[in-house]
């Protein structure tokens, strides 16, 4: 027997996702676009890996794409324990929490309704204060579970609605969320301050990046990030933009988000942007900026689920603004690996990328080395210029001074080293 979920994109019924049998093996998955959706002139494909076609898709390509919408790691375990679902059962989890996902996609076991109970909107802080903040590792995700909210990633988070007066609300059933709220990490206190630093510094440099601010919610520090996949529609209400991350676009499961696990490489991402999708010079430049910025701030966690494609309803794909930018070199190495999430040449650590690695990076991703060097130098200067003010403003907003000062030192050292490796190679070349 085939179990099914109805798939909507931009609120429009687009097709049926099905799985046969109880084992949920990748080969048992199936997705078929609806004929009426295919006939719709503004139909947008769910994914590069699931283009518009009448023949059904079967197997891992289907399971991988939909599974990538779900939370990972301990957050997923907590949600599955709460819902009494087997932790490996992607399909059941999509049915339970896939009402509001990343991008314009929404899944439901009912054709008409959003699925689950109809819940009214509610102020998040009041709910947390009333029901008690246990500070568990998946506190926010569990609050979002009955509202059928699903976001990928290993960190706790909830999709919320933020009012013009600044009040953060949990959405009513079927309501579009506008922001993502991430409380501080249980395992690594201060991680949200570091993410705020990565995102705010990127903004100061003029890079395209999700807007983020530190907030105190129910007495706990959290990072509030504006959703770049939501926009204000013609009637003033929020509308969806579609997105998919690079694991989804390239057909990898979330278990392969790191290159070492068999996941996408920088060359594969560049190839998709340049040749397969032909996104054009702006996107090609934006991708290079993403790579250089992550190396300069020492983010070893810039994996393929931390880079996305954004598709408005007109179907014109672009590279999404940057998100989840964390200078992980500021976290003790025993907690977070320094090995780059996607290989940069032969570099063993994100703070050891040398001249030969930059050379290999340029070659494998199709950029001229002098262009890479010029952009790196410019970004290095801008980081040097903006870092102190960004740290001060974040400390004023509640970030921990000691942590940000040490992160700032680590970033400055890493940036200086990157610039120096080009200069010493130029001196060697002149000799
Ligand atoms: N500002 C945003 N707007 C829209 N979607 C976003 C935004 N930030 C993140 N996302 C989506 O949510 C997913 C998870 O977010 P994020 O990467 O911040 O979580 P995380 O748990 O910190 O990730 P990781 O597992 O890499 O640590 C992303 O892969 C992306 O699809
Ligand atoms: Mg992430």
DSSP string, 48-113: TTB-S-SSPEESHHHHHHHHTTSB-HHHHHHHHHHHT--TT-HHHHHHHHTTB-STTEEEESSSSS
Which residue's C-alpha comes closest to atom 7 of ligand 1?
227
Rounded Cα distance between 369 and 362, Å, is: 6
> Quick one: pLDDT at residue 116?
64
Say if residue 354's pLDDT is above 90: yes
pLDDT band at 195 (very low <50, low <70, confident <90, very high): very high
134 occurs within a structural domain: no
Say whether both 234 and 104 belong to one domain. Answer: no
List all residues 6 or more positions away from 279 whose beta carbon is below 8 Å from its beta carbon.
273, 317, 318, 319
Say whether both 388 and 244 belong to one domain. Answer: yes
Retrieve residue 364's tokens.
């494998």
pLDDT band at 430 (very low <50, low <70, confident <90, very high): low
User: What backbone torsions phi and psi does residue 346 show, to the nearest 5 degrees?
Assistant: -105, 10
pLDDT band at 113 (very low <50, low <70, confident <90, very high): low
Active site residue 301: yes
Is residue 21 a contact partner of residue 28, using CB atoms and an 8 Å limit? yes
30 occurs within a structural domain: yes
Say whether both 271 and 407 belong to one domain. Answer: yes
204 occurs within a structural domain: no
Cα 395 to ligand 1 centroid, rounded to whole Å: 24
- Atom of ligand 1 at shortest distance to CA of 323? 8
Helices (H), 281-368: 281-297, 355-365
Average pLDDT score over residue span 231-260? 95
Nearest ligand by distance to the CA of 341: 1
131 occurs within a structural domain: no
Cα 422 to ligand 1 centroid, rounded to whole Å: 33
Choose one of 108, 134, 156: the last residue of a domain. 108
DSSP lists the bridge partners of residue 321 as: none
Rounded Cα distance between 346 and 352, Å, is: 10
- Using alpha carbons, select from 90, 124, 121 the residue that is nearest to residue 107: 90
Q: How many domains does the chain have?
A: 2
% of the chain surpassing 70 pLDDT: 98
Residue 362, helix vs strand vs coil: helix
Nearest ligand by distance to the CA of 73: 1
Say whether both 101 and 244 belong to one domain. Answer: no
184 occurs within a structural domain: no
396 occurs within a structural domain: yes
Residue 254, class by beta-carbon neighbours within 10 Å (0-12 exposed, 13-18 middle, 19+ buried)? buried
Is residue 293 a contact partner of residue 344, using CB atoms and an 8 Å limit? no
117 vs 76, more confident: 76
- Using alpha carbons, select from 101, 102, 70, 106 the residue that is nearest to residue 88: 70
Residues 368-401 pLDDT 10s: 999 999 999 999 999 999 999 999 999 999 999 9
215 occurs within a structural domain: no
Indicate the Cα dihedral angle 35, 36, 42, 48, nearest 10°.
-30
Choose one of 52, 73, 108: the last residue of a domain. 108
Say whether both 236 and 104 belong to one domain. Answer: no
Rounded Cα distance between 316 and 43, Å, is: 12
Choose one of 78, 108, 138: the last residue of a domain. 108
425 vs 105, more confident: 105
Cβ–ligand 1 distance for 308 under 6 Å, the answer: yes
% of the chain surpassing 90 pLDDT: 87
Say if residue 165's pLDDT is above 90: no
- Using alpha carbons, select from 209, 221, 227 the residue that is nearest to residue 319: 209
List all residues 6 or more positions away from 66 whose beta carbon is below 8 Å from its beta carbon.
17, 29, 31, 90, 91, 94, 107
Sheet strands (E) in 233-305: 238-240, 242-245
- Atom of ligand 1 at shortest distance to CA of 155? 21
Say whether both 286 and 417 belong to one domain. Answer: yes
User: What backbone torsions phi and psi does residue 20 show, to the nearest 5 degrees?
Assistant: -105, 135
Rounded Cα distance between 214 and 397, Å, is: 6
* Owning domain of residue 75: 2-108
Radius of gyration, CA atoms only, the chain? 22
169 occurs within a structural domain: no
Rounded Cα distance between 145 and 116, Å, is: 10
């Amino acid at each position: 027997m085939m179990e099914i979920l109805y798939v909507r994109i931009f609120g429009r019924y687009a097709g049926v996702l099905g799985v046969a049998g109880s084992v949920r093996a990748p080969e048992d998955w199936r997705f078929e676009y609806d004929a009426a959706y295919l006939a719709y002139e503004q139909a947008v494909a769910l994914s590069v890996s699931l283009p518009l076609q009448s023949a059904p898709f079967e197997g891992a390509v289907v399971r991988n794409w939909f599974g990538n919408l779900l939370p990972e790691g301990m957050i997923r375990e907590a949600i599955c324990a709460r819902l009494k679902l087997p932790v490996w059962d992607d399909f059941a989890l999509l049915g339970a929490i896939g009402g509001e996902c990343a991008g314009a996609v929404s899944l439901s076991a009912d054709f008409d309704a959003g699925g689950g109970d109809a819940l009214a909107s509610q102020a998040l802080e009041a709910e947390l204060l009333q029901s008690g903040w246990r500070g568990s590792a998946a506190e926010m995700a569990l609050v979002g579970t009955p509202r059928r909210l699903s976001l990928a990633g290993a960190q706790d988070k909830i999709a919320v609605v933020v009012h013009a007066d600044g009040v953060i609300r949990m959405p009513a059933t079927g309501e579009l969320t506008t922001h993502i709220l991430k409380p501080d990490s249980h395992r690594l206190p201060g991680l949200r301050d570091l993410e705020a630093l990565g995102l705010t510094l990127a903004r100061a440099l003029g890079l395209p990046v999700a807007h983020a601010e530190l907030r105190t919610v129910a007495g706990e520090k959290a990072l509030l990030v504006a959703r770049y996949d939501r926009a204000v529609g013609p009637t003033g209400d929020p509308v969806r933009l579609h997105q998919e991350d690079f694991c989804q676009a390239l057909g990898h499961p979330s278990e392969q988000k790191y290159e070492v696990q068999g996941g996408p490489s920088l060359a594969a991402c560049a190839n998709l942007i340049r040749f397969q999708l032909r996104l054009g010079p702006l996107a090609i430049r934006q991708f290079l900026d993403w790579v250089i910025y992550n190396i300069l701030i020492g983010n070893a966690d810039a994996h393929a689920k931390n880079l996305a494609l954004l598709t408005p309803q007109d179907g014109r794909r672009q590279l999404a603004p940057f998100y989840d930018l964390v200078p992980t070199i500021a976290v003790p190495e025993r907690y977070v690996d320094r090995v780059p999430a996607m290989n940069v040449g032969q570099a063993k650590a994100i703070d050891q990328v040398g001249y030969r690695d930059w050379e290999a990076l340029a070659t494998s991703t199709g950029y001229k080395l002098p262009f890479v060097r010029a952009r790196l130098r410019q970004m290095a200067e801008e980081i040097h210029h903006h870092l102190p003010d960004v740290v001060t403003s974040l400390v004023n907003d509640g970030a921990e001074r000691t942590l940000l000062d040490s992160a700032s030192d680590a970033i400055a050292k890493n940036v200086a080293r990157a610039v120096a490796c080009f200069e010493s190679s130029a001196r060697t070349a002149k000799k």
